[in-house]
């Protein structure tokens, strides 16, 4: 039997996605470097992008995807999503094709599960559809994005920027990304708060306790039941 730790990390991971939208869209990471380098004493910072009214396409509207949508909608952003099928009771617009979703998105947020079924799902064609004014944000798994294609798309201006908390071969980050001013890089900190890591450990222990007591598991993964 295989269990996981759903729900307890949803809020923290969604917060990181919002942070990456802010850091890339409003240029906060670049602006912070600008101040530290003493550049503000020489000139004013560049103007950036108003986020209200922009479209966010969410790939994978599970627990975390919904939490991301809720937060970004509160910021005045428009939300659309794609997945295996439209979800009942969801007021966000469903776009059945990922490439079509990317084409109409200012930010494409990757929030679907990893694994063989989604490996390199965000490929060169999807990135081309996102376009030169688009930004990709990935808080899910590095395997979902074709990383070499992502590097090329950033190098040649096919897309405008990226906010990444996950990578294909962690902790190794492609060296070209380290030099790019339009990319924000985080060390997979989606769930990295004291409170959430404790809650994850507590839930793991609760599942073990249930198993050894002969009781039903609390968070059994349905596909592996």
Annotated catalytic residues are 141, 170, 188
Residue in the structure block whose two tokens are 């890339």: 24
Helix or strand (DSSP H, E) at 57: strand 55-59
Question: In this structure, what are the phi and psi dihedrals at residue 81, rounded to the nearest 5 degrees?
Answer: -150, 165
Instruction: Name the packing angle between helices 10-25 and 63-74 (round to 10°).
Output: 50
Closest C-alpha among 200, 218, 152 to residue 11:
200
CB 45 within 8 A of CB 74: no
Task: Tell me the C-alpha distance between 51 and 107, whole Å.
Answer: 10
Coil, helix or strand at residue 131: coil
């Amino acid at each position: 039997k295989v269990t996981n730790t759903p729900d307890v990390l949803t809020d923290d991971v969604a917060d990181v996605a919002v942070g990456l939208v802010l850091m890339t869209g409003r240029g906060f990471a670049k602006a912070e470097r600008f101040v530290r380098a003493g550049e503000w004493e020489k000139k004013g910072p560049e103007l950036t992008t108003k986020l209200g009214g922009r479209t966010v396409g969410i790939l994978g509207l599970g627990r975390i995807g919904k939490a991301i949508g809720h937060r970004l909608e509160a910021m005045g952003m428009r939300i659309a999503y794609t997945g295996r099928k439209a979800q009942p009771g969801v007021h966000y617009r469903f776009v059945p094709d990922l490439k079509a979703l990317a084409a109409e998105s200012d930010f494409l947020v990757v929030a679907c599960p990893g694994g063989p079924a989604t490996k390199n799902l965000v490929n060169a064609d999807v990135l081309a559809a996102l376009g030169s004014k688009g930004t990709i944000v990935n808080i899910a798994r590095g395997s979902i994005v074709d990383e070499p294609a992502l590097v090329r798309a950033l190098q040649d201006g096919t897309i405008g920027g990226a906010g990444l908390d996950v990578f294909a071969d962690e902790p190794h980050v492609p060296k070209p990304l380290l030099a790019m001013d339009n990319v924000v890089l985080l060390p997979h900190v989606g769930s990295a708060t004291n409170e959430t890591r404790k809650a994850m450990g507590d839930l793991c222990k609760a599942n073990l306790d249930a198993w050894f007591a002969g009781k039903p598991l609390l968070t059994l993964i349905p596909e592996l039941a």
